[in-house]
Amino acid sequence: MTTEDDTFRLRATADFVRRHDAATLLPLLLPDLDDAALRTLTRHLGFAHAALLVFPPDARALRAELAACGLAADTPSGPSTVVRRRLAERHHRAAEALDVTILRPAAHGPDGTARTVEVFALTVPPGSDLQALADHERAHQHEAHIAFEVADPEPLLLRGLCTLLAEHGAGPDGGGHNPHEDVTVLYFTAPAAARAGYRRLELCAPGEHRAVLTAHLAATEATAATATTATTAARPAVTARPPAETLLHLLTGAWTTQALAACARLRLPEALSTAEAVPTDALARRTGTHSRALATLLRYLAMLGVVAPEGDGHRLTAVGDLLREDAPGSMRPLALLYGGPFYRSFGELDHTLRTGEAAFDHLFGENHFDHFARDPELADLFDRSMAASARMFDPVPDHPVLTAAARSPAGATVVDVAGGNGELLARVLTAHPRLRGVLLERPHAVEAARRTMARAGCADRCGYRAGDFADVPGGGDVYLLSRVLHDWDDDRCREILRHCARAMPAHADLLVLERLLPADGSPSLATAWDLHMMCNVGGREREAGHYAALFADAGLALVDRTPLPLGAALLRARRPTAAPGTGASGERAGQQGGGGLRTAG
């Protein structure tokens, strides 16, 4: 194969870029993508470029190839650290010996949208010992990919997009940060049934997103570790560390949790700035810490991507900014909770594994609901921690059940069962001004929900009921159960669902928001939360089929499910037929005492 082959592939790539957009490409890449997932992805992703790797003998030949394909020959170029590293690892070469550049000549989509053809160029002079490498890469097209740019590269959103892609068959396949362009790239492998002509896709996120990248590379390693020998031979894992190094990274996870929790407790983010660096000595004075000890912590936080070193100080990154108490979508409550009582209970994980009992109960002498309810500060922290994961709520107001209810001429009522501080219900009511709401929660949580509704401007359209699951109000049109069922064992879930079913009129829908365990055992956030739920509350995450069986036991039927960010899903259930003595009366199925209504997740 020769440079003529490169010119042919370059022309085909340019034509591909000019012909497609995200809405046409994503179904080709992920054939089992449903309409709701497609809407979510196209809302956050824009088709940015298609990429290929070519092997010109020199810069002049590369310019001639570009011109022959109708692309600007004078496009600026720069080094490509990610592809250079991948080539070096794949072919056992020294990275510094590979002269890989990247160019992005402009192209335009069918609607005139500006995008690019991303050209990676490895110079291969005549007679070079790189010729075998070039032949291999032309044959296997390892670096050919389709790229989507993330419109708002916020860490929670990035994680959610990665999870959504994985749920529809895209496997993590490495990535990296290009410091020359300050962009983070996350590679995926499309499923075998992909019809786009490309097997690799890339999420391109401006900025350095070190924590998300680290998690993505870990998922790549986990995928590679479980791959068959044949798959590994066909697509070598390029990011795997030696086993001992991998294990050390895993063993130090507790250090990361406590470093982040200490950062939040000391209010380092509030004392730092995203605009300019703060000298370490000045930061120590502001936070009342020991300067040398603080410098050690800052060095570790810089490795995590929470702060960035500049001169003799540090500035706050976008990741670290989420630990500010006043930041939109602040995750400070989660840092304090996971680095506090839940961290302590994980130290008793052995007890759970030996007995099946929640380690939290063993450590604190009571379940976490009662323990938090007796401590106003912990109760407030818990409610704020629930709101910290509210990114998964973003697509919920657009669910067809809610949009249809909002169009009802007579108006409709949404009942949020165990609605926490009202974050989800407030979003639904804000999106649909004709809807009314009712929120059921513990007394102290009801007060928090009142404040949330007032801030959202929905106070006059929401009613409140303080009580337990047996107090589910009747007469609603849509019922919500958000992150509730994973708190409980199957028997308790059946009781909760029966309370809902008895309260629901025949026409009502139940929308259940939970993380779903993947049926194929692939890596997911739900797998981590399954361990958390077992250790801290005695609950569990479940597969979709498991929830369908619980619904059936309560006289409900699973109708469909919609993927959500952060590994979550929205399950829709209905009563198949109206049963005598049920409906708007809200008949109870036995009082169930004690405990709260939900847990962190």
Residue 450: predicted pLDDT: 93
Sheet holding 568-574, edge to edge: 462-466, 435-441, 412-417, 478-482, 509-515, 568-574, 557-563
In angstroms, the CA 69 to CA 105 distance is: 11
Give the DSSP per-residue string, 29-57: HSTT--HHHHHHHHHHEEEEEEEEEE--S
Q: Quote the pLDDT of residue 594.
A: 38
pLDDT score of 509: 96
User: Residue with structure tokens 């929905």?
Assistant: 458
SS3 281: helix
Q: Which of 82, 72, 50, 234 is nearest to 146 (CA)?
A: 50
Per-residue model confidence (pLDDT) at position 389? 63
**HSE-CB for 410 with a 13 A CA cutoff:** 3
Question: What pLDDT score does 580 carry?
Answer: 40
User: Which one, of 421, 572, 431, 568, lies nearest residue 500 by Cα?
Assistant: 572
Instruction: Look at the block and give the residue holding tokens 């088709």.
Output: 47
Which residue ranges form the domains of the chain, and what is each CATH number?
3-234 (3.10.180), 253-328 (1.10.10.10), 390-574 (3.40.50.150)
What pLDDT shows up at residue 387? 61
Phi then psi dihedrals of residue 199, to 5 deg: -105, -5
Instruction: Say what the pLDDT of residue 270 is.
Output: 95
Residue 11 identity (one-letter amino acid): R
Identify the sign of the CA torsion 553, 556, 561, 562. Answer: negative
Identity (one letter) of the amino acid at 378?
L
Among 164, 329, 174, smallest CA distance to 239 is for 174
Are 498 and 575 in contact by the 8 Å Cβ rule? The answer is no
Cα separation, 177 vs 158, in Å, equals 14
| CB of 167 closer than 8 Å to CB of 161 | no
239 in helix, strand or coil? Answer: coil
Question: Which among 189, 192, 182 has a CA at the least distance from the CA of 216?
Answer: 189
Please tell me the predicted confidence (pLDDT) of residue 284: 95
Q: Is 44 a catalytic residue?
A: no
| CA-based nearest residue to 264, from 201, 209, 307 | 307
What is the mean pLDDT, run by run of 10 residues, along the chain of 601 residues?
72 88 90 86 92 90 88 85 85 84 89 88 87 85 90 84 89 82 87 82 90 84 54 36 77 92 96 91 96 94 88 88 87 91 92 92 86 78 68 84 92 94 92 96 86 94 94 96 94 96 96 88 80 90 93 94 82 74 34 43 52
For residue 1, the model assigns a pLDDT of: 43
Write out the E strands in 297-341: 307-310, 313-316
Residues, the chain: 601
**Structure tokens belonging to residue 337:** 């909770």
pLDDT of res. 590? 31
> How buried is residue 141: exposed, middle or buried, by Cβ count under 10 Å (0-12/13-18/19+)?
middle
Which tokens sit at 111? 């609607």
| pLDDT at res. 125 | 86
Contact 402, 427 (CB under 8 A): no
Q: What is the pLDDT of residue 374?
A: 81
Q: What is the pLDDT of residue 412?
A: 96
pLDDT for 58 equals 87
Amino acid 588: pLDDT: 29
**What whole-number distance in Å separates Cα of residue 374 and Cα of residue 596?**
11
Cα–Cα distance list, 543 to 366, 469, 599 (Å): 29, 23, 19
* Residue whose tokens read 């199957």: 490
pLDDT value of residue 235: 36
pLDDT at residue 478, rounded to an integer: 97
- Choosing from 177, 351, 368, 486, the catalytic residue is 486
Q: What is the 8-class DSSP label of residue 227?
A: S
152 DSSP 8-state letter: S
Inter-axis angle of helices 280-287 and 291-304, nearest 10: 110
**Which pLDDT does position 220 carry in this prediction?**
80
Q: How far apart are CA 392 and CA 599, in angstroms?
A: 16
Pick the closest to residue 495 from 592, 425, 585 (CA basis): 592
